[in-house]
């Protein structure tokens, strides 16, 4: 089993990207990643396209993207795992290299959600849970799903609405410093509390937006990476887990069990103890589709004990300079959430942080040379936790 490194990254502006079509949007990220890796398309041996695309006119996005980016006839596939699609795409390319099936692979996550009207997109996302039971019978959409989590957490642990607001304020603070972010405006607690209700206790400013965007990474085996770059970022480990389709089958709404299991897997493979795991990482990107999701992520990753995640937010311990900087690129909340691209965008953010290439005002101090991403599909239907390092992992 071989070590796998990231040798190039690419990222587009997130937001309403109806100025281009799907393949043009993907090429913006792919071109940047290839240039950063200093390689040409003909050196890519395999590429994976992460795209959910229910709202898209393109039924075969991998084929369209591959042709436009001049990647054909290299092998390809389209990957879908709801909101964790980008991380699933990374996993496929990562395993292809790790197993020896390829030496250089490209991952591109791309989504153009504004091809459909917003109400239709909200409905399509809502169908991603237990469609016939929860959506058809009870009308649950994803704000409703995460409102159940927030309500349960507040009732059990005493979290306040203002604690959720702290997450939104932090992520908008850093989003305002990220030129790729969809929302580049800071918000106040007053603005947060006055924002429109979506599904109690969640408000508009608790919610990630509908987003278009693309991100790409180039992966290489250790032998190839050493020939191309003197600053690879290694994928140390990845944990993967899944949850039940129907929330009625889950026993606890105050955390996401699949994410917790994925974290345990990733830590075990990286030889990291779960308790106080945060001490190993310089920075984290976690799945904050809604503010409550970030708070649950703190606990599922072992950054805080059960029922104490909201205290990290309240005490502002996840800002740069705090206990563990989280979502200092703006997160899904402010950077945006183009579903198929989100997991790849996280990988780009962590890689650039570890190489001191983050945007001004968002760069953390790199001491351990390690970062982590946490990407959830649906409400824990899928979960991927990935650990990155500037230090070569032992095999």
List the one residue out of 1, 24, 26 whose CA is nearest residue 11.
26
Place of tokens 């409550």: 292
Please name the residue ranges forming H helices in the chain. Answer: 22-37, 61-68, 85-98, 118-126, 136-138, 142-157, 161-175, 189-194, 222-228, 257-270, 291-300, 309-314, 331-334, 342-354
* Confidence at residue 395, expressed as pLDDT on a 0 to 100 scale: 64
- Length, in residues, of the chain: 395
Phi and psi at residue 259, in whole multiples of 5°?
-65, -40
> Is 255 in the active site?
no
Q: What is the mean pLDDT of residues 37-66?
A: 94
Say if CB 373 and CB 256 are below 8 A apart.
no
| The token pair that represents 277 in the structure block | 């795991």
345-363 pLDDT per residue, tens = 999 999 999 999 999 999 9
* Confidence at residue 303, expressed as pLDDT on a 0 to 100 scale: 97
Instruction: Name residues whose C-beta falls within 8 Å of residue 219's C-beta, 6 or more positions apart in sequence.
Output: 4, 5, 6, 7, 90, 93, 94, 97, 104, 105, 106, 107, 235
* Confidence at residue 296, expressed as pLDDT on a 0 to 100 scale: 98
Q: In which band, very low, low, confident or very high, does the pLDDT at 132 lie, cut at 50, 70 and 90?
A: low
Place of tokens 């109400």: 119
| The token pair that represents 75 in the structure block | 């092998």
> Is 83 in the active site?
yes
What secondary structure letter does DSSP report for 37? H
pTM: 0.96
**Please, what is the angle between helix 118-126 and helix 142-157, to 10°?**
60
Q: What is the mean pLDDT of residues 88-97?
A: 98
Q: What is the mean pLDDT of residues 13-37?
A: 97
Class of domain 233-389: alpha beta
Instruction: Name residues whose C-beta falls within 8 Å of residue 394's C-beta, 6 or more positions apart in sequence.
Output: none
Say if CB 192 and CB 185 are below 8 A apart.
no
Asked: is 4-117+210-228 a CATH 3.40.47.10 domain? The reply is yes
**Is the model's pLDDT at 139 over the cut of 70?**
no
Q: What is the mean pLDDT of residues 236-243?
A: 97
**Is the model's pLDDT at 54 over the cut of 90?**
no
| The token pair that represents 369 in the structure block | 């040379």
List the one residue out of 30, 8, 334 whose CA is nearest residue 171.
334
Rounded to the nearest angstrom, the gap between the alpha carbon of residue 255 and the centroid of all alpha carbons in its chain is: 18
Say if CB 15 and CB 182 are below 8 A apart.
yes
**Is the model's pLDDT at 52 over the cut of 80?**
yes
| Rounded CA separation 116/54 (Å) | 9
* Confidence at residue 133, expressed as pLDDT on a 0 to 100 scale: 63
Q: Counting beta carbons within 10 angstroms of the beta carbon of residue 138, is it exposed (0 to 12), middle (13 to 18) or buried (19 or more)? A: exposed
Q: Counting beta carbons within 10 angstroms of the beta carbon of residue 196, is it exposed (0 to 12), middle (13 to 18) or buried (19 or more)? A: exposed
| Rounded CA separation 195/275 (Å) | 37
Residue of 11, 172, 337, 359 with catalytic role = 337
Q: How many CA atoms lie within 13 A of 41 on its CB side?
A: 14
273-299 pLDDT per residue, tens = 999 899 999 999 999 999 999 999 999
User: What's the chain's average pLDDT?
Assistant: 95
Burial code of 333-356, b = ≥16 C-beta within 10 A, e = fewer?
A: bbbbbbbbbbbbbbbbbbbbbbbe
164-209 pLDDT per residue, tens = 999 999 999 999 999 999 999 999 999 999 999 999 999 999 999 9
Residue of 69, 83, 260, 381 with catalytic role = 83
**Is the model's pLDDT at 136 over the cut of 70?**
no
Query: Given this chain, do its domains 4-117+210-228 and 233-389 carry the same CATH topology?
Result: yes
319-355 pLDDT per residue, tens = 999 999 999 999 999 999 999 999 999 999 999 999 9
| Rounded CA separation 113/211 (Å) | 6
Q: Where are the domains of the chain?
A: 4-117+210-228, 233-389
Paired residues of 106 in beta bridges? 47, 218
What secondary structure letter does DSSP report for 391? S
What is the distance between the terminal CA atoms of the chain, rounded to a whole angstrom? 7
| Rounded CA separation 364/353 (Å) | 7
Paired residues of 49 in beta bridges? 78, 108
Residue 261 or 129, more confident: 261
């Amino acid at each position: 089993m071989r070590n796998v490194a990231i040798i190039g990254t690419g990222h587009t502006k997130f937001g309403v990207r109806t100025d281009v079509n799907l393949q043009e949007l993907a090429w913006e990220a792919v071109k940047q990643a290839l240039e950063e890796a200093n390689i040409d398309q003909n050196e890519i041996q395999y590429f994976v396209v992460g795209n959910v695309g229910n709202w898209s006119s393109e039924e075969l996005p991998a084929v369209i993207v591959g042709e436009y980016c001049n990647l054909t006839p290299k092998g390809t596939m389209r990957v879908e795992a709801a909101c964790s699609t980008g991380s699933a795409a990374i996993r496929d390319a990562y395993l292809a290299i790790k197993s020896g099936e390829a030496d250089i692979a490209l991952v591109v996550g791309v989504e153009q959600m504004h091809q459909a009207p917003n109400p239709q997109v909200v409905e399509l996302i809502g169908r991603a849970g237990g469609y016939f039971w929860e959506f058809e019978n009870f009308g649950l959409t994803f704000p409703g799903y995460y409102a159940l989590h927030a309500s349960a957490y507040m009732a059990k642990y005493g979290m306040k609405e203002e604690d959720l607001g702290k997450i939104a304020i932090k992520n908008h603070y850093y989003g305002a410093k990220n030129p790729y972010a969809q929302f580049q405006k800071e918000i106040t607690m007053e603005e947060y509390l006055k924002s429109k209700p979506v599904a109690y206790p969640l408000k508009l400013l608790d919610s990630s937006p509908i987003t278009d965007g693309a991100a790409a990474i180039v992966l290489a085996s250790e032998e190839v990476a050493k020939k191309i770059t003197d600053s690879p970022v290694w994928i140390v480990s990845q944990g993967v887990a899944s949850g039940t389709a129907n929330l009625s089958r889950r026993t606890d709404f105050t955390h996401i069990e699949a994410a917790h299991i994925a974290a345990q897997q990733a830590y075990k493979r990286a030889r990291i103890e779960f308790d106080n795991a945060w001490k190993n990482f310089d920075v984290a990107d976690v799945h904050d589709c809604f503010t409550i999701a970030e708070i649950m992520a703190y606990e599922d990753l072992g950054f805080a004990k059960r029922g104490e995640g909201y205290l990290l937010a309240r005490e502002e311990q996840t800002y740069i300079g705090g206990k563990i900087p989280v979502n200092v690129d703006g997160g899904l909340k402010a950077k945006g959430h183009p579903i198929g691209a989100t997991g790849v965008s996280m990988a780009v953010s962590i890689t650039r942080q570890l190489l001191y290439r983050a945007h001004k005002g968002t760069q953390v101090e790199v001491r351990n040379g390690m970062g982590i991403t946490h990407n959830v599909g649906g409400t824990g239907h899928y979960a991927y936790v990935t650990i990155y390092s500037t230090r070569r992992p032992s095999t």
